[in-house]
Structure 1
Amino acid sequence: MRFADFPFLRYLPFLVLGVLLSQDSPLIPVAPLASLIGIFWVLYAYLIFAKRKVSKLVPAALAYGMLFLLGVLLSENQKIRRGESVDIKLGECDFYLARVEKYDVPKPNSLENLVEVIQIKDSTGWISSKGKVLVYHRGADPLIPGQVILVKKCPEPIPPPLFPNEFDYSSFLARKDIHFRHFIGNDFRIVDSTAQGAPRFWLQRTRKQLAAVIDELVPNPESRQIAVALLLGQKETLDREIREAYAKTGTMHILAVSGLHVGIIYAILLFPLKGIRTKARSRKLYLILVILLIWLYAVLTGFSPSVVRAATMFSLLTAGQMRERKPSSWNILAFSALIIISMDPAVIFEVGFQLSYLAVAGILLLQPIILKWWLPPNRILEYFWQITAVSLAAQLATFPLSILYFHIFPSYFLIANLVIIPLSFVVMNAGIVMLALSWVPWLGKVLGLSVSGLIWLQNWFTRVVQDLPGGNLERLTITFWGMLLIWVLLFVWANWEWGDRKSLIYLALVLFLLWSGDRLMREVSRPPAELLVFSGEKGVLLDFRAGGQHFSWNENLPPEQISFSIDPNRIAAHRPQLPESALAVREGKVLSFPLFGYQFEAGRNKFLWGGRRPLLIERVLPDGSCEPLPIDSLIANNGAFRVVF
């Protein structure tokens, strides 16, 4: 098979490249972009239909150019829509009216909800407004979608990250058009409840009713949480302990409704067709029903990228069965990505989207090779070998990106998945039947007890694997070039038998040289000694490195902020989680560090260098870029600073 045999796989990179270019650029006018696409299309059509004798590269360049410009256009349209979706005056109002969009999600000290602002009141009176606000309340009664609440004061913008490598929660929410938050406590009033039954909230009501059925029939609290996540895609109520157990065993994908779950639903729906001869017309009608039910499940579980990807792929496969042909899996995968990106260009920045497509690509590319390693003697062993091959292929493709984002690797992912995947298949079968027959009193209870017991067994096994020695490799790091090198090596391995080996070797060698050059440049540019200052509203933390030794001093920075905001930077820079405590002499508010030769005035966050003047002082921005500062002294207020000696 040639690469030219996968047209949608060829189209996808150009669309993605256009989106990436647009996301990091200033706003580009939409009208010229649309006009340019039109010109390209006219030229392309003229060359094709007029049958002019020109190089094949010309129409190809026009076609790929159109895809690139389309990516830019889609991204620019999304940027404009997002800019129009929020009123900047919202952060300066005295009161606001807002419509409740969700049911409450329990948090440690409050209830979280999402509201859509309708009107605000400022010095001029009540005016129309818009914008989404995350609210945290302590009301006696829960908020229900469709209610309108009156809230005093104004919400605050969600703050951007302060330190480099810190998770950008504000950008994460901005991609969902959420730009404000408000801790309202009891300082609000419900003023209207007439829209609770509106059709637009049908999905929330349906999911709430199904969750209530699970709460009623599944007695074990932990099993109940997993059932809601597994069947409905609602992970908000999962305990932290359960999340960590599944994450550290490499089975978190079980709890995040994904292609695996859609595949299970698909297998259940296609089961009646096995071994039964039906007329062509009846078979087509049933397959259409299968497609509709798959998309209904996608709607009920919240339309996550992995579910949409899987629903699109299985829909296209089913359509192929109607025509008695099997379309290319690579084309289906790329086509589903094109559809999702066209609907939401910024989805390419979501970790779930990236991991989902990498996992499926890894399975398509590597699973056939892994299956050849062994020929099982019976069907039972073959079934488990198939699961093993799928798990290995998906893990090989996704682990570089997982290390980049999460810095962990589950050592026993194979053992865990060999048990958890079949168990989750049984749980989903029993759970779907439970939800469908919950109205039958005795049967619903029996099925609820069965689901509860199966999930209890699943949780127990997950914890057993989690507690095995060396079960989780932590604080791992990888560079961008290192990640690309691993993927290229996997590609070379997968294509070694039938590909152009000379070209594959050259490709691997080029990436190896780029990776080696990147590592060399990092080592050469690494100074012999440096001080990193992390200054927040509640305190300051100092990390000092001299050669291979690491020291630290914490001046009132809360431990939870260190874990969330600073530890990611320590991991990225290969610094220890708990550096040795620096020696300091305190005189009032002034701290002297004799080993390093500088003083720190805690009240003003001011550094005095004494006899050891730094070579460079710079503010390190959250995106990793730096702004040089004067080297005489440093006042470190709210941000990260780097001092090179």
Structure 2
Amino acid sequence: MIQLAFALTTGIVLAYLFPISFSIVPFLGLGLGLLLGIWWFLRNKLRPFPFFEIFSFILFMTIGYANYQLRHPQFEKNHYSKFYSEKQFKTVQIKIKEVLKPSAFQDKYIAEVFQLNAQKTKGKILVNFQKDSLLSPFKVDEQLVLYSEIKTIRKAVNPHQFDYKNYMQSLGVYYQIEGSKNQILNIDKGSPTFKGVAEEYRSYLISKLKETPIESNERSIIEALILGQRRNIDPETYKEYAAAGAIHILAVSGLHVGIIFVILSWVLKPISFLKYGSIIKSALIVLLLWGFAFLAGLSPSVIRAVTMFSFFALASMSNRPSNSFNILFLSFLSLLLFNPNWLFHVGFQLSYLAVFFIIWVQPTLNKLYRPRFKFDKLFWDIITVTLAAQLGIAPLSIYYFHQFPGLFFISNLVILPFLTLLLGYGIMVVLLAGINLLPDFVALGYNYLIKFLNTFIHWVAKKEMFLFQDISMSFLKMIGFYILIISLIIWWRQNQRKLVFLVLGSLILILGVTFYEKSRSKEELVIFHKSRKTWMAITTKDSLKLFQKDTFSIEDEYPIKAFRVAKNKEVVFAQRIPSVFSFKEKIFIITDSLGVYPSVKGGIILLSESPKVNLERLIDSLQPELIIADGNNYTSYVNRWKKTCEIKNTPFHSTREKGAFIFN
């Protein structure tokens, strides 16, 4: 099962990295036929050649490739992208599938496009609606008719910035609609779906919680902890949970489902002594786990976690010892067959890595100490589980989030035993609130528990010296650290001297990656896209020089911080941008609001602060090699300059359209 899961994963990654323009589905039938033929030929051999295993690997790799490929719009029959044109308004009929976290100015949704003009279509789309006090947020399953244009989702405009386009593609969404209420032709209540009913029931429970004496800040934690709804959490509280290494409890996922699985296994244990008790117990656990998933709105993370533990529950039906690794990878394989895009979700990667390392490492860690009492056994189990999980997710977590909570041990020692109480108590509070039978003293008791949790998290988060931030971690270096961790664990478990060379080889690999990345480091100039700001950076082999118009520190500002952390260089404090400077034998001229520019021909001109210049005269006079307009200009000015440059046949780069300008 592990080999087949690895083969499927390899196929998905290859499809992501090396897409092809033709379908490989016909090859699957041929491959399956050959596989059956090889099995038939080798079925009676005592020592068959490893043809069957090799071909099985190739077949599952092909399945992974095809499964990912077929979900791309190019290979989806009747995908709406085949019937639309850029900058053309059409009648678009959509059905809301998922409500996303809104931004400051827009409500966001994922919807299904089921008709474009008169053409029946399919395919998911991102819908951004301008916030309007007269327009209530839409709900799952609502159907809208819009007169709008369909656009591609923009790439990240600055280097090393979070790429929202890639993230949406991992959800199977490649295009977007940006609309307002004026573009809505009709709103209708569509046919209900299971997810829509779950979302409606969750909204009902949230409304009922608002009628209880539980305070708003504590209520937002309950909504996240039990119902998987994080939109109402105060941003400062969210940051504190992240700093304390406890952000995982605010996202209903494998941890929550695992705890509920353990609670249900303990509560339903007496059923095992009945005839067919194991089957009844396992069926009840699966049913109740999916009931919790329904309660939490059937979000993808909950579905993945419940699926994983459903396999563990079903495996216990046989009353025979089962291989936990095979069960884990069977669920992994099943989920990726259902949706291969989940492989690229951070939550999916972290969940499976954590569970894998717990199964692999925790039993060995547990043997280091033999507790004599239940109390110290509980804490020793928490320590070993936490350490095993942290070993599994640390490099990947640092790669994505560039920080490591040094006090994660203290956080988990308090939170994990406490979380069992919070989940059991919380589910009871939510269900009683839903049927209007929640006593005030029960609600206030839970409010006190959440308040204690928040106070503890606040205390841990304030120990800033133990929060290691701005850690640079490249993809290659992350792979190197995983090889080192795995090598150390194998050496420790098998206790063979020759394995020390495996560890030394891992260290050499990390050093090699470090020197390789440093040798590839080159000098470059970056003009960032930042609304109402002109920010530049010059990287050298040893340092990062920042330039700006004012004297404020910008090294921790967006998008400078992400760039600085990725480059991992010593920062020279920000300097004022000179009006003329040279970089790699190219002259750069900055023309700001004064509209003054020196008479230097053939350079690169940066237009900033919406200068009132006659661009035609400037081009005729200076004959620039390139004209750049950053985010510190009026849009109308940029559009006018673009047309002028097209007429004059002069290259033009708008950071608003093309992203940051990089010269190296």
TM-score by length of 2: 0.81
CA drift of 1:584 comes to 4.3
Asked if the contact 1:120/1:127 (under 8 Å) is kept, the reply is yes
Cα distance in 2 for residues equivalent to 1:148 and 1:77: 26
Q: Which amino acid counterpart does residue 545 of structure 2 have in structure 1?
A: F
The answer as to 2:347 corresponding to 1:352 is: yes
CA drift of 1:573 comes to 0.8
SS state of the match for residue 187, structure 1? helix
Q: Where in structure 1 are there 5+ consecutive unaligned residues?
A: 1-7, 611-616, 620-632
The answer to which of 490-499 and 208-217 deviates more is 490-499
Q: Which amino acid counterpart does residue 221 of structure 2 have in structure 1?
A: I
Asked if the contact 1:103/1:144 (under 8 Å) is kept, the reply is yes
SS state of the match for residue 280, structure 1? coil
- How big is each residue's C-alpha offset from its partner over 1:412-451, in whole Å with a ceiling of 9 and x where there is no partner? 1111111122222211111111233336656443332222
SS state of the match for residue 174, structure 2? strand
**Which residue does the alignment assign to 2:108?**
112
SS state of the match for residue 276, structure 2? helix
Question: How has the CA–CA distance of structure 1 residues 637 and 200 changed in structure 2, closer, same or farther, with 3 Å as cutoff?
Answer: closer
**Which residue does the alignment assign to 2:3?**
10
Asked if the contact 2:108/2:128 (under 8 Å) is kept, the reply is yes
Q: How does 1:242-281 map to 2 (within 5 A)?
A: 242-274=237-269, 278-281=273-276
RMSD, aligned CA: 3.6
**Which residue does the alignment assign to 1:75?**
68
**Which residue does the alignment assign to 1:311?**
306
Asked if the contact 2:526/2:537 (under 8 Å) is kept, the reply is yes
Name the % identity.
24
Question: How has the CA–CA distance of structure 1 residues 488 and 404 changed in structure 2, closer, same or farther, with 3 Å as cutoff?
Answer: same
**Which residue does the alignment assign to 1:572?**
566
CA drift of 1:343 comes to 0.9
**Which residue does the alignment assign to 1:223?**
218
Give the one of 548, 551, 573 matched to 2:545.
Answer: 551
Q: Which amino acid counterpart does residue 172 of structure 1 have in structure 2?
A: Y
Cα distance in 2 for residues equivalent to 1:548 and 1:365: 41
**Which residue does the alignment assign to 1:599?**
588
Q: Where in structure 2 are there 5+ consecutive unaligned residues?
A: 606-625, 629-649
Asked if the contact 2:198/2:298 (under 8 Å) is kept, the reply is no
Cα distance in 2 for residues equivalent to 1:146 and 1:583: 53
Q: How does 1:229-244 map to 2 (within 5 A)?
A: 229-244=224-239
Cα distance in 2 for residues equivalent to 1:562 and 1:157: 30
Give the one of 61, 71, 78 matched to 2:54.
Answer: 61
The answer to which of 517-526 and 332-341 deviates more is 517-526
Cα distance in 1 for residues equivalent to 2:298 and 2:193: 21
Give the one of 474, 480, 486 matched to 2:481.
Answer: 486
Give the one of 458, 474, 492 matched to 2:469.
Answer: 474
**Which residue does the alignment assign to 1:628?**
none
Asked if the contact 2:78/2:121 (under 8 Å) is kept, the reply is no
Cα distance in 1 for residues equivalent to 2:94 and 2:308: 38
Cα distance in 2 for residues equivalent to 1:112 and 1:106: 5
Cα distance in 2 for residues equivalent to 1:597 and 1:575: 24
CA drift of 1:159 comes to 0.5
Q: Which amino acid counterpart does residue 92 of structure 2 have in structure 1?
A: Y
The answer to which of 305-314 and 163-172 deviates more is 305-314
SS state of the match for residue 238, structure 1? coil
Cα distance in 2 for residues equivalent to 1:366 and 1:455: 32
The answer as to 2:319 corresponding to 1:327 is: no
CA drift of 1:324 comes to 1.3
Asked if the contact 2:114/2:121 (under 8 Å) is kept, the reply is yes
**Which residue does the alignment assign to 1:47?**
41
Q: Which amino acid counterpart does residue 40 of structure 2 have in structure 1?
A: Y
Cα distance in 2 for residues equivalent to 1:453 and 1:82: 52
Cα distance in 2 for residues equivalent to 1:13 and 1:206: 38
Q: Which amino acid counterpart does residue 457 of structure 2 have in structure 1?
A: T
The answer to which of 379-388 and 102-111 deviates more is 102-111
Question: How has the CA–CA distance of structure 1 residues 565 and 183 changed in structure 2, closer, same or farther, with 3 Å as cutoff?
Answer: same
Q: Which amino acid counterpart does residue 207 of structure 1 have in structure 2?
A: R
Asked if the contact 1:600/1:607 (under 8 Å) is kept, the reply is no
Give the one of 485, 494, 508 matched to 2:503.
Answer: 508
Q: Which amino acid counterpart does residue 527 of structure 2 have in structure 1?
A: V
Q: Which amino acid counterpart does residue 494 of structure 1 have in structure 2?
A: I
Q: How does 1:73-112 map to 2 (within 5 A)?
A: 73-79=66-72, 80=74, 84-87=78-81, 89=84, 92-102=88-98, 107-112=103-108
**Which residue does the alignment assign to 1:393?**
388
Cα distance in 2 for residues equivalent to 1:502 and 1:263: 37
Cα distance in 2 for residues equivalent to 1:118 and 1:61: 42
- How big is each residue's C-alpha offset from its partner over 1:177-209, in whole Å with a ceiling of 9 and x where there is no partner? 333444534424473434376666212212222
Question: How has the CA–CA distance of structure 1 residues 409 and 326 changed in structure 2, closer, same or farther, with 3 Å as cutoff?
Answer: same
Give the one of 376, 386, 406 matched to 2:371.
Answer: 376
The answer as to 2:536 corresponding to 1:542 is: yes
- How big is each residue's C-alpha offset from its partner over 1:433-488, in whole Å with a ceiling of 9 and x where there is no partner? 12333366564433322222211111111011000141311110123343233223
Asked if the contact 1:155/1:182 (under 8 Å) is kept, the reply is yes
Q: Which amino acid counterpart does residue 11 of structure 2 have in structure 1?
A: G
CA drift of 1:101 comes to 3.7
Give the one of 9, 21, 28 matched to 2:14.
Answer: 21
Give the one of 321, 334, 343 matched to 1:339.
Answer: 334
CA drift of 1:275 comes to 5.8
Asked if the contact 1:106/1:237 (under 8 Å) is kept, the reply is no
Asked if the contact 1:228/1:234 (under 8 Å) is kept, the reply is yes
CA drift of 1:41 comes to 1.6
Give the one of 515, 540, 543 matched to 1:520.
Answer: 515
Asked if the contact 2:195/2:298 (under 8 Å) is kept, the reply is no
Cα distance in 1 for residues equivalent to 2:213 and 2:384: 33
RCO higher in structure (CA 8 A, sep ≥6): 1
Cα distance in 2 for residues equivalent to 1:317 and 1:459: 33
Question: How has the CA–CA distance of structure 1 residues 497 and 403 changed in structure 2, closer, same or farther, with 3 Å as cutoff?
Answer: closer
SS state of the match for residue 233, structure 2? coil
Asked if the contact 1:531/1:643 (under 8 Å) is kept, the reply is yes
Q: How does 1:385-464 map to 2 (within 5 A)?
A: 385-438=380-433, 441=436, 443-464=438-459
- How big is each residue's C-alpha offset from its partner over 1:578-604, in whole Å with a ceiling of 9 and x where there is no partner? 64123544xxxx444799994323469
Asked if the contact 2:521/2:541 (under 8 Å) is kept, the reply is no
SS state of the match for residue 496, structure 1? helix
Question: How has the CA–CA distance of structure 1 residues 85 and 416 changed in structure 2, closer, same or farther, with 3 Å as cutoff?
Answer: farther
CA drift of 1:61 comes to 1.4
The answer as to 2:126 corresponding to 1:133 is: yes
Alignment: residue pair count: 606
Asked if the contact 2:147/2:184 (under 8 Å) is kept, the reply is no
Cα distance in 2 for residues equivalent to 1:469 and 1:565: 23
Q: Which amino acid counterpart does residue 265 of structure 1 have in structure 2?
A: I
- How big is each residue's C-alpha offset from its partner over 1:333-390, in whole Å with a ceiling of 9 and x where there is no partner? 1111111111111211111111111111121222223323333342212211211111
**Which residue does the alignment assign to 1:163?**
158
Cα distance in 2 for residues equivalent to 1:299 and 1:439: 14
Asked if the contact 1:306/1:356 (under 8 Å) is kept, the reply is no
Give the one of 4, 27, 30 matched to 2:24.
Answer: 30
The answer as to 2:278 corresponding to 1:289 is: no
Cα distance in 1 for residues equivalent to 2:344 and 2:100: 27
